[in-house]
């Protein structure tokens, strides 16, 4: 992703959050460069502090957009009519559980692992860098070589990426589960995150030879930690707050820091 494109996405994200026209949002962001540098350092520090937590509650959400299906959430003025529209909505209903994944569970960020229950689609367990999805009560398979792993969303990836925050712009404030937070649009340098992230992360967290080296996300932080991260991914693999041609939207939320995870059985899916 070029810097110019990333800047335009940051401006549009501020427009969506504040209701400002493009020119006003652009002037505001251009005039806050120094503050952006200090905020970037704060976001990176919050990400590192969150990744050092011994326990927390964790919520996840993944929505996958299918060009040939419609969901009940689609605005009425964007729905197709006739038999084709009916077929698209029926298909969207049938595939809803697979395209709308949401769940809650526990995370032990300091140990690079987590466990979430996602209802009908089963659960996720991450340990030793491997993410697995399975039915409730099934045993988690033993760790495998990374080359043998099926590609599954690593729900701590956004926190890892934020350790490489290069720019951060405040776009508002919002309460997240009763905690007052700053809402920001952040651009993370994945190469910087790779240098700052330390050991214990999968090699796939780093940018590949053809992948983008930056990721822009919407982030909510309190004075110490990251509370929520949201981003969309385009068909070209670009990560930004709201790409025009998004194929998926991911949200991760953390709360109740300090929660004990000693009761978890990491060898079985929740």
Residues 88-102: tens digit of each pLDDT: 444 444 444 556 789
Task: Note the pLDDT tens digit of each residue in 228-270.
Answer: 999 887 777 677 787 666 677 889 999 999 999 999 999 999 9
Structure tokens at 146: 């990374």
Given this structure, which CATH class describes domain 33-255?
Answer: mainly beta
Q: What pLDDT is recorded for position 213?
A: 79
Q: How many helices (H) and strands (E) does the chain have?
A: 7, 11
Instruction: Please report, for the chain, the start and end positions of each structural domain, with discontinuous segments joined by +.
Output: 33-255
Rounded Cα distance, 268 and 57, in Å? 18
Phi, psi for 72 (deg, rounded to 5): -65, -20
Structure tokens at 22: 């493009």
118 Cβ partners below 8 Å, 6+ apart? 60, 101, 102, 103, 124
The tens place of each residue's pLDDT in the chain, 270 residues long, gives 444 555 565 566 656 656 677 776 666 555 544 445 789 999 999 999 999 999 999 999 988 764 444 455 555 555 555 444 444 444 444 444 556 789 999 999 999 899 999 988 889 998 877 888 899 999 998 876 654 454 557 889 899 899 999 999 999 999 999 999 999 999 998 888 877 765 556 555 555 555 667 889 999 999 999 999 998 877 776 777 876 666 778 899 999 999 999 999 999 999
Q: What pLDDT is recorded for position 242?
A: 76
Q: What pLDDT is recorded for position 139?
A: 95
Q: What pLDDT is recorded for position 229?
A: 96
Q: What pLDDT is recorded for position 100?
A: 75
Q: What pLDDT is recorded for position 184?
A: 95
Rounded Cα distance, 103 and 20, in Å? 34
Q: What pLDDT is recorded for position 180?
A: 95
Q: What pLDDT is recorded for position 64?
A: 75
43 burial via Cβ count (<10 Å: 0-12, 13-18, 19+):
buried
The pTM for the full model equals 0.74
What does the longest C-alpha to C-alpha distance in the chain come to? Answer: 55
Q: What pLDDT is recorded for position 51?
A: 93
96 burial via Cβ count (<10 Å: 0-12, 13-18, 19+):
middle
Q: How far is CA 187 from CA 11, 65, 229, 245, in A?
A: 12, 23, 12, 19
Structure tokens at 156: 């701590």
Treating both helix axes as pointing N-terminal to C-terminal, what angle do 3-18 and 22-30 enclose, rounded to 10 degrees? 110
Structure tokens at 244: 């025009």
102 burial via Cβ count (<10 Å: 0-12, 13-18, 19+):
middle
Q: What pLDDT is recorded for position 32?
A: 47
Q: What pLDDT is recorded for position 121?
A: 82
Helix (H, G, I), strand (E, B) or coil at 17: helix
Q: What pLDDT is recorded for position 55?
A: 97
């Amino acid at each position: 992703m070029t810097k110019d494109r990333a800047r335009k996405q940051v401006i549009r994200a501020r427009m969506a959050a504040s209701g400002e026209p493009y020119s006003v949002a652009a002037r505001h962001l251009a005039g806050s460069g120094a503050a952006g540098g200090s905020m970037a350092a704060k976001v990176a520090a919050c990400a590192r502090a969150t990744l050092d937590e011994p326990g927390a509650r964790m919520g996840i959400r993944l929505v996958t957009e299918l060009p040939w299906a419609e969901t009940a959430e689609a605005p009425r003025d964007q729905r197709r009519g006739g038999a084709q529209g009916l077929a698209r909505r029926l298909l969207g209903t049938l595939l809803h559980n697979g395209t709308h994944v949401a769940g809650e569970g526990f995370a032990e960020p300091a140990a690079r692992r987590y466990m979430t229950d996602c209802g009908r689609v089963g659960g996720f367990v991450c340990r030793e860098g491997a993410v697995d999805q399975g039915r409730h009560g099934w045993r988690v398979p033993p760790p495998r070589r990374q080359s043998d792993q099926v590609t599954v969303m690593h729900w701590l990836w956004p926190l890892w990426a934020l350790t490489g925050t290069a720019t951060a712009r405040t776009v508002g404030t919002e309460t997240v589960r009763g905690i007052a937070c700053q809402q920001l649009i952040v651009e993370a340098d994945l190469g910087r995150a790779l240098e700052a992230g330390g050991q214990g992360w999968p090699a796939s967290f780093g940018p590949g030879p053809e992948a983008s080296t930056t990721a822009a996300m919407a982030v909510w932080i309190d004075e110490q930690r990251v509370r929520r991260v949201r981003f969309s991914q385009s068909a070209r693999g670009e990560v930004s707050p709201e790409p025009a041609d998004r194929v998926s939207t991911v949200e991760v939320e953390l709360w109740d820091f300090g929660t004990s995870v000693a009761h978890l059985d990491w060898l079985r899916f929740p």
